Every structure is written in C-alpha cells, then in structure tokens.
A and B are shown apart, each in its own frame.
Chain A
Amino acid sequence: MAPPDSQPLRLRATGCRTALGDARATCAGLLLGRRALELLPVLGSEGGDPVPLAPLPGRNLMETAPPAWLSCLDELAAEIPPAPWGSARHPVFVTSSNFGVGSLYAVQRTGDPRHFATGMPFATVEFIGARLGWGTNVTVVSHACVSAHVGLLLAERGLRAGLADRALVFSFDFISPFVTGGFHALKILNGGMPAPFSARATGSIGLGDGAAFAVLELGQGGYRLSAQATHNEMHHFTGNRPDGAGFATCLAPVAAAAAGRRLWIKGHGTGTLEAGRLESVTLASVFPGAPLVSWKGSLGHTLGSCGLVELAVAIAALDSGRTPGTIAAEPPCFTDTVAIAPFANGGFDGVVLASNAFGGAHAACLLSHD
C-alpha cells in the first residue's frame, strides 16, 4: 500500500444546501441564470434598507428556538455516507464564520434563554453533533470566509499523518440581522445587486445561507483535491495588499500542481471592487486564459461555508458537463477571462477554487478527476 504522503486525496462525497436547493438543483439553477438574491430588509422583520439576501426558502432572518436552519442541516446530513463520525478514526471538522450568532442576537432581542443553546460556536457544534449522532472527535474551525478551506486542509493533514481513515468536513453559515447589519454598516452590503468582477462605479455584495459537507479519504478514483494552499497577508483588517501579492502567494503552489492542465476557475468574486479587481487580475496572470466564474451574484456570499458550498456545486457542474457562468456580471469586467455565460467543461481537466477573507486570508485548491 502506498504511503499516505503519496496517495491522492479523494472526495468520497460532497453535498450542499443553498437558497436554490441541493448541489444539483443549485447548479441547474445557476446554469439557467437564476438569481436567488432578492432585495429584503437588512434587519429582517425589524426592517431597514432593502439589501440583496438569499436565505433558504421560507427562512426568516430572525432566529427561532431551536433555529429554523436545523432542518436544513438534517437534510444535508442525510446525504453523508454512514460512518462512526466523531470517533477516533473518523474525525469531523466543523467550520463556520458565524456559527449561531443569530441566536445570540435573538437572546438580546427576546430575552428567551432557549437561544443560548446555539448562540456560541462550541455550544452550537455540540448541539449539532448530538443531534447528528457524532462522537467527540470534532474540531471547530473559524477563519472568516476561508473557514471551509481550513477545514479541508486540516482533514488532509490528519489523513496524511495516518491519524484518520476518513474525515468529514461540515460547514454552515446562516444569515442573521447581526451579520447583515454588520456588512451593511461597512456599506459593502447596500442597495445594489452584486456584479462580481465587473468594473462598476459602486461595489456591492449579497449574502446568502449556505451549508455543505465533504468526506475525504486517501485513495484512487473519482474527484480529488490535488493541491491545497492557504496564505495570510497580515496586511490589514479588511484590505489586501494593493499589489495583489497576497493572492499570488496563495495561488503559487496550486499553480505548480496544475502545470500543464486545462483549467477553469471558480473565484471568490463577492462583488466588491478592489478585491474583485485584484483577484481577477492575479488569477488571469497566474492561470492565463483560464475562464473565471463566480456564483455569488446569484447565491450571495455564504461566508464561512462558501468554499465547501462552491466545491459541491463545482462537482455538480462537472457531473452535468456544463459550468455556470458569472451570473449578474456586467461588461466591462476587470479581465477578459471572466466567463459570464455557462460553458461546456468536458475539455478541461482541473478546476481551481479560490476563496478570500477579511484579514487578508486566502485559500485555494485544485479539484481534479480521472
């Protein structure tokens, strides 16, 4: 048997939930150009400016006790291949940007102590783990909008170190007035719909609900992660180095692993101007000619879950043979590599998936298949 270091990192299963449904439905909706985002009051039933949001169908931003999103996680968990998750050889990595912060907001608003059960990260994960029958080998990870990528990377390290037979990475972020209000105060969540990678006068993002999982193991066959990388610029709370070096540094090991491959790229592409320009220009430089898409113009930014949600959608796109384009992008774009329309992906043999986060955090991976 090959040593763990030399075996491929296989994705045994992936799945997700977005405002458009499961991974296949999400991909199908994106291919049809459906935009899940709609203008909704920024503070839910408390009102405020209309901003682009994509909650799960029927879900209100105001948290219930227990949270309404638990049924979404139950549905998603039913897709996970059975295993003694959370046992010594089957670790779980739970990643989120905000965990149950909407419950904390609800405690403040209603005084109902039942919200405390899901108001803090570890409490939320314990609550979910008990519900889904996980053991105690559960690691909680939060690193803003690259959280899911960090979970994937930790899972790979555990597998390659011989510490696990199989690993589950599970990620979720559900929007709440606390989160939407924060982005609204920053003025990047505003009245405009996001148009990722578009050279407009005003940038804007949308926010959406998202949850996803991936089961990883070492072995041949199927989809695999051929490279993973993270990098933190340590430059600024919210901004990137103006020369784009942070993006390039993160992408370098992925580019080395992808040498000779015909690639398409799923970028981060939230709809902000400065980061969108830096990202698209750097990607076009590192991967010349590779078509670049972002799906956040439809799904909104699903925050800490976005890396895993978009991985599941990318696999659904590969299964379908067509890659959804950058919905809502408007020419002129920052680079001519931005693909606005869907395209056939049969001629490609690799996908680069990139995410970025506050604090100058970057993550990328290379998805490939036999």
Chain B
Amino acid sequence: MADALLVRLKQLIVDTLKLDDLRADQIPDDEPLIGSGLNLDSIDALELVVQLEREFGIKIRSSEETRAILSSVAHLAAYVRAHAPPEKLLPLP
C-alpha cells in the first residue's frame, strides 16, 4: 500500500506547481526533483518550500537545506516526518 505521506507530498508538488501534464503517481520516490528528474528550478523550489512550510508547519533554514530536502520525494518525506508537528501529519479530511 502506498505511503500516505508520499502520496500527499506528490499531490502537493503537482498542485503547487500546476504540473497539469503529470499525475502525482508518476513522480518516482527516489528521483531528484531539482536539476534533473522532475527538472524543477529554483523558482519552483521557492514555491514548494513556501507551500510546505505553510501546510506542514516546518521551517527550512537555508538554500542548502532546501536542496538537500528536495533531492527526492523520499528525502522530503523523511524531513517532514522528522520536523512537522504530529497534528500536521494527520491525513487531510
């Protein structure tokens, strides 16, 4: 069964960046999000980080941390699990 947080994060990426020609389940867990793989750029990263901070109550501290977190959806999920308040990890209604 798919990891609920991974599914939620992939949908967040598609919705935030308006990736109309991509379905969330087409985003691999382990491919880079920036530069290759999904080929997002730094402006995409900015939009994603703002949305992630808002939705999960996390605080990403630097551009280097951003790059590390967005190295894959799996890395992103691990970071969110480690830093988000528990109530923010509950499935959305």
Spell out A's residues near B (CB within 8 Å).
Answer: 49, 185-188, 190-192, 201-204, 236-239, 272-273
Picked from A187, A201, A236, the residue with its CB within 8 Å of the CB of B66 is A187
Given contacts A237-B41, A238-B42, is CB(A185)–CB(B50) below 8 Å? Answer: yes
B64 to chain A: which residues have CB within 8 Å?
201-203, 273
- When C-beta atoms are compared, the residue in chain A nearest to B43 turns out to be A237
Chain-A contact segment, one of B9-17, B55-63, B85-93: B55-63
Given contacts A237-B43, A238-B42, A238-B43, is CB(A187)–CB(B62) below 8 Å? Answer: yes
Q: Is the CB of B43 within 8 A of A190?
A: no
What is the CA–CA distance of A30 and B43 in the complex, to the nearest angstrom? 34
Q: Is the CB of B49 within 8 A of A239?
A: no
Q: Is the CB of B42 within 8 A of A239?
A: yes
Picked from B46, B50, B62, the residue with its CB within 8 Å of the CB of A192 is B62
B41 to chain A: which residues have CB within 8 Å?
236-238
Contact pattern, B 35-77, Cβ under 8 Å of A = 1, otherwise 0: 0000001110010011000000001111111100000000000
Which one of A185, A186, A191, A237 has the highest number of Cβ atoms from chain B below 10 Å of its Cβ? A186
Given contacts A236-B41, A237-B41, is CB(A188)–CB(B63) below 8 Å? Answer: yes
B62 to chain A: which residues have CB within 8 Å?
187-188, 190, 192, 202-204
28 A/B residue pairs, CB under 8 Å, sorted by A: A49-B59, A185-B49, A185-B50, A186-B46, A186-B63, A187-B60, A187-B61, A187-B62, A187-B63, A188-B62, A188-B63, A190-B62, A191-B61, A192-B62, A202-B61, A202-B62, A202-B64, A202-B65, A203-B63, A203-B64, A236-B41, A236-B42, A237-B41, A237-B42, A237-B43, A238-B41, A272-B63, A273-B64
How many B residues touch the partner, as a band? 10 to 19
- When C-beta atoms are compared, the residue in chain A nearest to B47 turns out to be A185
Further pairs besides A187-B62, A188-B63, A273-B64: 5, Cβ < 8 Å: A187-B49, A192-B62, A202-B64, A238-B41, A238-B43
Spell out B's residues near A (CB within 8 Å).
Answer: 41-43, 46, 49-50, 59-66
User: Chain B interface mostly helix, strand, loop or mixed?
Assistant: helix
- When C-beta atoms are compared, the residue in chain A nearest to B66 turns out to be A187
Q: Is the CB of A186 within 8 A of B42?
A: yes
A204 to chain B: which residues have CB within 8 Å?
62
- When C-beta atoms are compared, the residue in chain A nearest to B44 turns out to be A237
What is the CA–CA distance of A202 and B67 in the complex, to the nearest angstrom? 11
A49 to chain B: which residues have CB within 8 Å?
59
A236 to chain B: which residues have CB within 8 Å?
41-42
A237 to chain B: which residues have CB within 8 Å?
41-43
A272 to chain B: which residues have CB within 8 Å?
63
Which one of A49, A190, A191 has the highest number of Cβ atoms from chain B below 10 Å of its Cβ? A190
Shortest Cβ distance from A41 into chain B, in angstroms?
15
Shortest Cβ distance from B57 into chain A, in angstroms?
14
Shortest Cβ distance from A150 into chain B, in angstroms?
23
A192 to chain B: which residues have CB within 8 Å?
62
What is the CA–CA distance of A255 and B59 in the complex, to the nearest angstrom? 44
What is the CA–CA distance of A185 and B33 in the complex, to the nearest angstrom? 18
What is the CA–CA distance of A203 and B63 in the complex, to the nearest angstrom? 7
- When C-beta atoms are compared, the residue in chain A nearest to B35 turns out to be A239
- When C-beta atoms are compared, the residue in chain A nearest to B60 turns out to be A187
A185 to chain B: which residues have CB within 8 Å?
46, 49-50
Shortest Cβ distance from A359 into chain B, in angstroms?
12
A187 to chain B: which residues have CB within 8 Å?
49, 60-63, 65-66
